[in-house]
A and B are shown apart, each in its own frame.
Chain A
Amino acid sequence: GAVVSQHPSWVICKSGTSVKIECRSLDFQATTMFWYRQFPKKSLMLMATSNEGSKATYEQGVEKDKFLINHASLTLSTLTVTSAHPEDSSFYICSARDRRLAGVYNEQFFGPGTRLTVL
């Protein structure tokens, strides 16, 4: 149980294009999903917290107009990198909290990540 998928697992795009990354909780409902970014040999940095049916909360320094997050259902959140540039190349990881465990265990279930390369 508690499986989170991400699609695509990797993507290469040209500078200036937009890329959408999907994060799905496969066997549970997630009221809250998180998006992280990881540069090579660096730690995970939280970008935003996404709650179903409401606007995402972005961390300081993260451009919300560049990284559009939509959490349209209890099993799906999407991150769209708009007008991507080479400096946006990174490993993007999502995680989800099982609504049944909210407030009981603060555990997040992580997706396998999406490697974005912008040429």
Chain B
Amino acid sequence: AQKVTQAQTEISVVEKEDVTLDCVYETRDTTYYLFWYKQPPSGELVFLIRRNSFDEQNEISGRYSWNFQKSTSSFNFTITASQVVDSAVYFCALSAGGGYNKLIFGAGTRLAVHP
């Protein structure tokens, strides 16, 4: 079975604080992809990152960074120096297995950044 767990339902921080969003996944497949999406109040999903199971390198993009650890089946997302515009719901997702490679989404973490 494939599953994505985002244990943090809501996080509230003050602007300029660093915040880490946790994501734990389960799959028996050796080849899989992990994603992070941002969903602002408008509802449209914004793609943030894709990582395949063979690439464990951490990635940094501006204020965003991702820590992929296969040993703990985690793919955590850190926002450095958070800003009010970062307020949104963030989803971690997994794509694995054959067929049409559907995406399994976590429950999402609602991030509120206050001025």
Contact = CB atoms under 8 A, between A and B. Distances in A.
Contacts, number: 53
B31 to A, nearest CB: 9
Nearest to A110: B45
A46 B44 contact: no
B100 interface: yes
Interface string B94-113: 01000011111111101000
A115 B43 CA distance: 9
Interface string A91-116: 10101010000000111111111010
Interface of A: 32, 34, 41-46, 49, 51, 57, 91, 93, 95, 97, 105-113, 115
Given A43-B107, A46-B102, 4 more contacts: A34-B102, A44-B45, A46-B103, A106-B50
